[in-house]
Chain A
Amino acid sequence: MIITMWKKEVESYFSSPLAYVLIGLFSFISGIIFFNLLVTYTDGIQAMPQGMSEQISFVEEVVLKFFANVNFLFLIFIPLITMKLFSEEKRLETLDLYWLAPTRDWQLVVAKALAALTLIGAMLVMTGVFPLVIWGIGIRDFSLLGTSYLAVLLNACAYISLGLFCSSISGNQIIAALLSVLGIMFLWMITWGGHLNSNYLVAEIFTYIGITSHFERVLRGILGTQDLIYYGSFVFTFGLLTVKSLGRRNW
């Protein structure tokens, strides 16, 4: 059943120009970012005295910064992807189809989340061209590339679950998107709040609740149980809230 719903959602994305516009725009912006980082890196290497160039790490200067920027782009792109998932169905009253069918609410939530993740996957596939470019110019340092992709995918899962919840509580796409943007920004700000707080315990709690510390750990290949628990519980909590929010229909 989930596959049937997922397929319908993916077809719905790709039957409208929005998916193509988003993929195109994402590829364009991420391309500019990658190019700038690469140019800055090569300029930096050339400016260094001979023999000192190894002090500038390609992974640090290009790979990690690139994926940190991708995470920043998600602030805009993921709310645009998730905003219509439930709010549009509410507006058109098409959710009635599911309430009349022997399906479960969680199946619909999972199908929609997977469809959004598929679109994000399609965007990230476009960035696969950048390692090829790196290979082409003779750089062979691909360490942390896999965990970097994993880090942005995990963040995407968290943002999608948040975006789905926002979409489920509003019948207006714009409001759903704004709520998602604010939610993601809040997740980032919690970490900053943790850095600024002088109380050790409070700072630690803030840092754990915020997404940034986990993202950075996974990005650098330090994928611990605490990060998996964090992402897992985050997605599960917002998934559950979305299911509960749908359960309150017309009550």
Chain B
Amino acid sequence: MDKILVVDKVTKEYPGRMAVSDLSFEVKQGSIHGFLGPNGAGKSTTMKMIAGMIPSSSGEIKLFGQTVSPDNRALRNQLGLLPENAPLYMDMKVEKYLQYVARLHEVKNVREQTDRVMEELSLTDVRGRLIGNLSKGYKQRVGIAQAIVYDAPFLMLDEPTNGLDPQTVVEVRDFIKKLSARKTILFSSHVLSEVEQLCDHITIIHKGKIRASGDLKDIHRKFRQGLVIKLGLGLGENLPDLSSFGKYDVTHHSTLSMEEQFMVTFESEADIRSDLGKFILNQGKKLMTLHIESPELEDIFLHMTENRK
């Protein structure tokens, strides 16, 4: 099966408020799919609908080919979720808690499974400690552990690195990367660099509406309108007139310690680097840098979320 999750024109309306509207996107098997959006964009609501915890007002969500609804319990062992606030019992010990969650999901070899998950998430040392006494980083690990302890093939993580210290963030990211070898992951975040590092597919949501969805490379390509070239000239040198290469716009200029750096966007997408290099050298300028600049995910995100307010 290629598509594990299909969200088709899903709308969730609360009295007097539209949480998400007409959402459509797909998650492919084996991918880490980034679900991007600013706070309040509707990411958590969408994830809860996918998990069957709340019903949608209209539209359809299909997981593993089955329609998701709060009444469809058959799908519940197929999906692991770390919600924004991990559902942790502060008065339980780590090991007991994970065993309890495993039992709720009818796991057969509860002890082996919880031992394995604790080992994977480096929780073995704190297995006998009360969850309430753990640091935020460890609590989040326990939250991830509860989502994977019953070995669901599809995993949803709602901002799993939010509020963690940098070292734990790196560890959690590495673990997610490792998990992706055996699970399909829908991963929400508003940290763009994180999504760029981890995900191969993304969906950008803003104010309850999809702004872009698909392969990260395709989105990069789609967003790139024209050709952006970073040009480095000698210190104090000005950019010559480049109109012989078609319409262009200098979007950024900064003076660095060794060069004057210009970001030039050409309307035409044709690769003009070679001719441009020669042209600049013929103008008697020093050419320090010349390369095509791909738009950062941050640029795409800002474009998608700001320009469409």
Contact = CB atoms under 8 A, between A and B. Distances in A.
Contact of A96 (B77, B79, B81, B105): B81
Given A4-B100, A93-B85, A99 B53 contact: yes
A250 B90 CA distance: 23
A101 B55 contact: no
Contacts of B90: 92
A8 B51 CA distance: 24
Most chain B CB within 10 A, of A8, A100, A249, A251, is at A100
Contacts of B3: none
Interface in B71-124: 73-74, 76-77, 79-81, 83, 85, 87-92, 96, 100-101, 103-106
Given A12-B92, A92-B87, A94-B88, A101 B100 contact: no
Interface string A87-113: 000001111111111111000000000
B92 A102 contact: no
Contacts of A97: 87, 101, 104, 146
Contacts of A250: 48, 53-54
A46 interface: no
Contacts of B70: 99
Contacts of B74: 102
Nearest to B45: A250
Given A92-B90, A250-B54, A100 B76 contact: yes
B54 to A, nearest CB: 5
Nearest to A97: B87
Contacts of A16: 91
Interface in A214-251: 249-251
Contacts of A92: 85, 87-90
Nearest to B14: A251
A96 B91 contact: no
Given A93-B85, A93-B87, A102-B73, A4 B101 contact: no
A16 B92 CA distance: 10
Contacts of B85: 92-93
A84 B73 CA distance: 27
A93 B58 CA distance: 25
A94 B91 contact: no
A101 B55 CA distance: 16
Given A93-B85, A96-B53, A251-B55, A12 B91 contact: yes
A103 B54 contact: no
B53 A8 contact: no
A178 B85 CA distance: 28
Given A4-B104, A250-B53, 4 more contacts: A12-B89, A92-B85, A97-B101, A100-B51
8 smallest CB-CB distances across A and B, nearest first, come from: A101-B104, A96-B87, A94-B87, A102-B73, A250-B54, A102-B76, A99-B53, A97-B87
8 contacts: A8-B100, A15-B91, A93-B85, A96-B83, A97-B146, A100-B76, A100-B80, A101-B101
Interface of B: 48, 51-55, 70, 73-74, 76-77, 79-81, 83, 85, 87-92, 96, 100-101, 103-106, 146
